Structure 1
Amino acid sequence: MKAVIKLVPLALAMAACLPAKAWNTETHRQIVLDAVQFMKTHPNQTKYAKLLAGVNKAGYTMDQFAAAIGQGAHDVDYFQDTYLCGATTGNCQTSPAWGAGSDLARYTSYWHFQSHTHGADVHGNDFGGYNYQKMNNAGDIDTLAATWLVNDYLDDGPGNMGGWFGDSSKYNSYGITEARYRQGSYSTRAMYEDYQAFPFQPIDNLGQYFFSRFLQAPSAQTLGFVLHTTDLLQPHHTFGTLANNHSGWENWVTDYYNSEKLNDPALVLAALADFTPLAANATDIRAMLTQGGTYSYKYGGAVLSSSDHAVRRGVAKKMVPHSIALVVRLLDRAAERMAI
């Protein structure tokens, strides 16, 4: 009975606060739609004409294309590609037992960070992903998660790491998901043996993986996956924390997105200057993605310590226009590929 009394509050607390999605899924969709609309109304500052030609060549209307890439940006939060396995049971799941089947806590979201609070990671990336062991801004939810998942391991396929009483490998997240997001860096299974020390790969590697796939075989869905990297403009994801008003800030942005005019085209136009345009033949987008992460780390930290409406509005008026501008820059490069 004592164990039940102890665990239920922990699960409830995590269920209320854990989502690490950065921008809410509908905010991701809206950012993409606003980027396409901005390009349409600013053809001289963007490659809208070339994008439209490529879209029409692919058999889409621009509205259909915008909806498809917006859906792709939304869908990344729902990937079923990351299984963590119990240190004792060896049972592998995509979310905690109390969050299964809900939007609350999918382990795939841990790949959506680029921490600027410490230097290069053990993989060799300039900025690593979520890593509780290296965290300078750990909050209650970070600690709760580390307590809940202590010594759990990343599913690395049958016959490798396992729990005390077995190994119910279901996907080989190390050999598939982590390998995809490795992008030239270095990893070992041992790095993912204990959750509290996992050095998750950063989100810019996720974006690079899907951008490479887009260059190989252009599709609206794959391009949409790339555009999920606007998570870099959500400050919690560059400060590397699940806590510190993380969920409340995301919900605030969704609730006030329209009424506070966070997508103001004048702010988007100004934000474009903070992103170096990609060359027409560029194959690596990570430097530009890091520009977004650097901006959110420099100017977004106030929302980690304050839930004041004015403070949030001030930060959001920077982060959302920069998110839209980042998508515009990525679509400018995509237009070159689609025009081929």
Structure 2
Amino acid sequence: MKIQLLLCALTLASTGAQAFSQETHKRIVIDAVNYMAQNPSTTQYAKLQAYALSHGMSVTQLAEVMGQAAYDVDDFEDTFFCGAITGDCVQAPLWGAAESIVKYTSYWHFQNHTQGADAHGNDFGGYNYDKLTVWGTIDNMAATWLKGDYLDDGKGGETGWFSADDSEYDSYGITEKNYRIDSHSTYRMYDDFEEMPFQPIDNLGQYWYQSYLQNGNPQILGFVFHTTDLLQPHHTWTTSDLNHAGWESWVKDYYDQENLNNLSLVKQAMASFSAPDAANKDIRPLLTQGGAYSYSQGGIVLNSEDHYDRVTTARQVIPHAIAMVVHMLNHAMVAR
């Protein structure tokens, strides 16, 4: 069965599931800083300038650092799945060698608005194959390929057959624990991939935001901005398939040509968010607003490759992604 799946995977590899491309993530952050520079009276741009200076950078350099950090989150080496039989633990599927495919860490980058609360007690859960309401071949292929595979728990005791275990990283004790904010987990939730209730991306964002508040590191603040995945409809409808990669590539290719970062549209989008109060250190309500928007406005790109449909959706979700980053930056400049 796995040989057949491998042949299928080699054909489908170019449709591997990311959200916005890494370059798009970076552009969104840079455009958010540009918006602040052009609207200093209605944003915390002066504080952003001071923050950049305190780290020996210009605002342009700061935008580059934070944008690159948002880009880098897809490259995290923090999530390993281990073979149900072999106990061999890897951070990407075997067929990922054929093409550039996201690592397993990307399964933390969803917020499922087609379902309610999850097994952890989050208001919206993350990726969980068993709970998907829309899915495609890639979702099915991953669940079949990884059937029974378990999340690396270090020396936690889970193994393959005959106690075989080649642990590489305690993904349950580190990564899942980091993203378990205000929720609860047991390891049994993660001992079979096809039923794993991954923590949602807003918890990822909150973890890194708390880390930023503690140390003020601009790279760590940049990690938070990968949460613009919430404006990618596939990550709120929740599927690794259904034109996922094609939409990602289209947005990257037409970002400038279709003026998707039009700052007048960003200004309109700013008003659609309820900005968190500086005294409230939890930015997850803001992030969930972004997820609710993409879920309500962007579903057509799961089923249509029409250029007009994509332009219409992109001119909604990209300005809202930029606006969400502006709101996070405004908050970050006054919350420490």
TM-score by length of 1: 0.96
CA contact (8 A) 2:6 2:95 kept: no
Aligned to 1:60: 57
Distance 1:304 1:98 in 2: 24
1:85 paired to 2:94: no
| Equivalent of residue 306 in structure 1, options 293, 304, 307 | 304
| Equivalent of residue 13 in structure 1, options 8, 11, 14 | 11
Q: CA deviation at 1:103?
A: 3.1
| Paired residue secondary structure (1:336) | helix
CA contact (8 A) 1:14 1:145 kept: no
Which stretch of structure 1 is more off in the superposition, 153-162 or 293-302?
153-162
**1:112-165: CA deviation from partner (whole Å, max 9, x where unpaired):** 000001110000000000010000001111111111111111001125111114
| Paired residue secondary structure (2:115) | coil
Distance 1:239 1:88 in 2: 32
| Equivalent of residue 258 in structure 1, options 256, 259, 266 | 256
Distance 2:293 2:279 in 1: 25
Alpha-carbon spacing, 1:100–1:255, altered in 2? closer, same or farther (3 Å): same
Amino acid of the residue matched to residue 88 of structure 2?
N
Distance 1:76 1:194 in 2: 24
1:193-272 alignment runs, 5 A limit: 193-272=191-270
Q: CA deviation at 1:54?
A: 2.0
Number of matched pairs: 335
Amino acid of the residue matched to residue 236 of structure 1?
H
Which runs of no fewer than 5 residues in structure 1 stay unpaired? Answer: none
| Paired residue secondary structure (2:161) | coil
| Equivalent of residue 141 in structure 2, options 127, 144, 151 | 144
1:1-340 alignment runs, 5 A limit: 4=3, 6-19=4-17, 21-100=18-97, 103-165=100-162, 166-337=164-335
Alpha-carbon spacing, 1:49–1:195, altered in 2? closer, same or farther (3 Å): same
Q: CA deviation at 1:67?
A: 0.5
Alpha-carbon spacing, 1:123–1:14, altered in 2? closer, same or farther (3 Å): farther
Which stretch of structure 1 is more off in the superposition, 8-17 or 215-224?
8-17
Alpha-carbon spacing, 1:3–1:133, altered in 2? closer, same or farther (3 Å): closer
Distance 1:17 1:177 in 2: 26
| Paired residue secondary structure (1:277) | coil
Q: CA deviation at 1:278?
A: 2.0
Amino acid of the residue matched to residue 258 of structure 2?
E
Give me the identity figure in percent: 53
Which runs of no fewer than 5 residues in structure 2 stay unpaired? Answer: none
Alpha-carbon spacing, 1:159–1:282, altered in 2? closer, same or farther (3 Å): closer
TM-score by length of 2: 0.97
CA contact (8 A) 1:271 1:322 kept: yes
RMSD: 1.4
Q: CA deviation at 1:13?
A: 3.4
